[in-house]
Amino acid sequence: MLSLKLPRLLSIHQVPKGYQEQGILFGYRPPRSSAADCLLSVFQMTNETLNIWTHFVPAWYFVWTLVGRLRGPGGREDPHTQPLLAYLLTCCIYPLASSCAHTFSTMSTRARHLCYFFDYAALSMYSLGSALAYSAYAFPTAWLGGSFHRCYVPVAVFNTIVSTSLSCYSRFLEVERPRLSKAARTLAFVYPYLFDSIPLFYRFYLCAVESCSEAAILLHYKHTIFAFLTCFIFASHLPERLAPGHFDYIGHSHQVFHVCGILGTHFQMEAITTDMAQQHQQLLHTSLHPSSLQTLGSMGICLAINLAIIRLCSTSLRLVPEPLHRDKAHGH
């Protein structure tokens, strides 16, 4: 008869330093778990369980949204919708990559790093997807066709490559220089977001000095608030740093970070589709309609380079020694 036995959870003092989280004292899964153990842990309350589900469930909502767009009027045949479809695809990929990374990150130290390399690459692709959508639908009218508009996507491509490189490199600093690692990882995602949002910030400025009746602006405000809240929670480790051990399973910063990030993406998606509907007729009668080559080429270039970065970093992991499991009784 098949018998499923869930692994005993460990305390912070029983796992290697690279697995430890500030303010989280209990609920750690054993390092060097098997893939089956990792999958079973999804249905066991650990300090990672809600990290997995808070991204896995919304990812399928985004998939449903993408499929609805593909089956809707125009679908993939309309070049005007291609930046939106590329953006929606990245919205599906980044939470799925995150949930997979959290699920299988305890198989080994090498697997942990590799899982998060793909997680960071997916996030950086999401920033590119946002830039493609903003360039197509959310730019201020006065900027359309200008020099900044023309260089906006190429710079976003460069930012995506830098983001993946810096965030992946930050994992090599995690044990010896944790503060620098955290700062580098935060910068890797904050900088592309701030660059992508320049058109939005200008629109916010115009609405502050002039009367503004754009329906999308309120949604962009909500998305921006959640984006800054996401960054603050990620960097601050609140609330668990104020009460270590009290938020090990429910309510710690990474869970709140996930929820705020997903809500921010939802409002961003609503804002972009609203902008798209408002600008559709304008773009149809100008030469500013989105370029298929720009959309697909940018995504393809970044995907190829991101995979090359992951390959390089995974090869470099051979130089990083595997830390010993502190609780030897539970080693595999």
pLDDT given for residue 289 in this prediction: 61
Task: Note whether residue 308 is domain-resident.
Answer: yes
Task: Note whether residue 264 is domain-resident.
Answer: no
Task: Note whether residue 225 is domain-resident.
Answer: no
Task: Note whether residue 143 is domain-resident.
Answer: yes
**What integer is the mean pLDDT of 185-200?**
97
Closest CA to 142 of 216, 218, 206: 206
Taking CA atoms, 237 is separated from 110, 234, 256, 273, in Å, by 25, 6, 10, 33
**What integer is the mean pLDDT of 220-242?**
96
Range of the domain at 303: 50-212+293-319
Cα separation, 231 vs 226, whole angstroms: 9
What the block records as the tokens of 20 is 């430890």
Domain count, the chain: 1
pLDDT given for residue 217 in this prediction: 95
What the block records as the tokens of 210 is 């002039």
Cβ 171 vs Cβ 116: under 8 Å = yes
| Res. 176: pLDDT tops 60 | yes
> What pLDDT band is residue 325 in, cutting at 50, 70 and 90?
very low
> Can you state the angle between helices 147-170 and 109-133, rounded to 10 degrees?
170
Per-residue pLDDT tens over the stretch 53-112: 999 999 999 999 999 999 877 666 777 889 999 999 999 999 999 999 999 999 999 999
**What integer is the mean pLDDT of 269-280?**
89
pLDDT given for residue 140 in this prediction: 92
- Global pTM exceeds 0.95: no
Task: Note whether residue 242 is domain-resident.
Answer: no
Per-residue pLDDT tens over the stretch 4-36: 677 789 999 999 988 999 999 999 999 999 999
| Res. 153: pLDDT tops 90 | yes
Task: Note whether residue 88 is domain-resident.
Answer: yes
| Res. 332: pLDDT tops 70 | no
Coil, helix or strand for 13? helix
pLDDT given for residue 156 in this prediction: 97
**What integer is the mean pLDDT of 147-170?**
96
Task: Note whether residue 112 is domain-resident.
Answer: yes
| Res. 179: pLDDT tops 80 | yes
Task: Note whether residue 260 is domain-resident.
Answer: no
Q: What is the mean pLDDT of the chain?
A: 90
